[in-house]
Structure 1
């Protein structure tokens, strides 16, 4: 597992010990960023269910100004801190140890340009959380949401408050990219 491109290109990231965390494969991660970027000119990213921190680190490596990484598992938080030390830019990140819903409520009103969520496949609550992103005012006006979930989750054809930009399947995973709908 590595950072694919940008400021931290080639940086080898540590994995979370044990089997409670499933890291995004580098090939899938590269495809995801190619769909939404691939590079950014500033902005803030929120990485929910951060695990190793790889998605948030990749976003900052590709030009996001700041990353907020959220996970509730002690081993994941420890691994995130190890990986951030390797970037020599830990000041560009905030790490929050909390359940995702609690962290989202604590961040209410803080605007992110990109929210990424890669929840454990067995506990996919992302459809409900999509509405919470809007209710808690977590997205900028043109904010993007990137979800990676298992294939067992069926996305509706339309999601209130969002425009669906892309839906892609990769082996046992699927990626959905949404943009906050423009309100008139």
Structure 2
């Protein structure tokens, strides 16, 4: 997997420009009910799923946290992390992706897996979405484009009611960045992949913001 580190990373996001089509790329679900299923990846510049090795490592860390979880996948792109969570027993998932074509392709893959009733794809800017009425989530995937100063604002926005008391937050960012996260997010694990580093945080010491099912109707 080749990236140009001098440019903003677009691995999980689509870009504008020429029309996109279903490409030859494939996303492989690596565990759970959809294990070994292959899904098409849209032919869009820079759109690539989180590598298998990183996903396998991450979900080994989240073995007991994923079943029954309410998941929020921000900057979803291919939706690799949220799809993997659904495969491994997450109860609900909301995917937020601002590129309409990429979002439509993700919705098609959810339908192919028969997971549409447990998920929703929202076509929106992530920060604009987080400014809306929150639904508390127990597992959040945050994978913004590189070098666009989105990490700190997103982390702060998540603290406006989007997290359950002991939520897990997986943040993937450029390796040279020292993330600014809330003080009560404790670093649980981290993994390096190319020019990015994934960090799994556990939220601690705060009051809960609601039951896992409260407000899910707002996603429907």
Same fold, judged at TM 0.5 (above): yes
Deviation at 1:128, TM superposition (A): 2.3
What is residue 206 of structure 2 aligned with on the other side?
183
What does residue 53 of structure 1 align with? Answer: 79
Helix, strand or coil at the partner of 1:141: strand
> C-alpha displacement at 1:105, in angstroms?
1.8
Residue 19 of structure 1: CA displacement?
A: 1.1
1:163 matched to 2:177? The reply is: no
- Give the number of equivalent residue pairs: 181
Distance in 2 between residues matched to 1:4 and 1:107, nearest whole Å: 33
Q: Does 1:121 align with 2:146?
A: yes
Q: Which runs of 5+ in 1 are unaligned?
A: none
* Conservation of the 8 A alpha-carbon contact between 1:124 and 1:149: no
**1:6, distance to aligned residue in structure 2 (A):** 0.7
Q: 1:127 to 1:26 in 2, by over 3 A?
A: same
**Equivalent residue, structure 2, for 1:147:** 171
**Quick check: which has more Rg, 1 or 2?**
2
Provide the C-alpha distance between the structure 2 equivalents of 1:124 and 1:107, rounded to a whole number of angstroms: 23
The reply on whether 1:90 has 2:116 as its aligned counterpart is yes
| CA positional deviation for 1:183 | 3.3
1:50-95 CA distances to partner (integer Å, 9 max, x unpaired)? 1011111110111110110000001211210121122112111011
Gaps of 5+ in 2: 1-26, 208-220
Q: Is 1:53–1:83's contact at 8 Å kept on the other side of the alignment?
A: no
Query: How far 1:38 moved relative to its partner?
Result: 6.1
Could you tell me the TM-score, scaled by structure 1's length? 0.90
Tell me the TM-score normalized by structure 2.
Answer: 0.76
Matched, 1:74 2:100: yes
Secondary structure of residue in 1 paired with 2:32: coil
List per-residue Cα deviations over 1:114-157 (Å, max 9, x = no partner): 000111224341122112111x111111101001112132235x
CA RMSD of aligned residues (A): 1.8
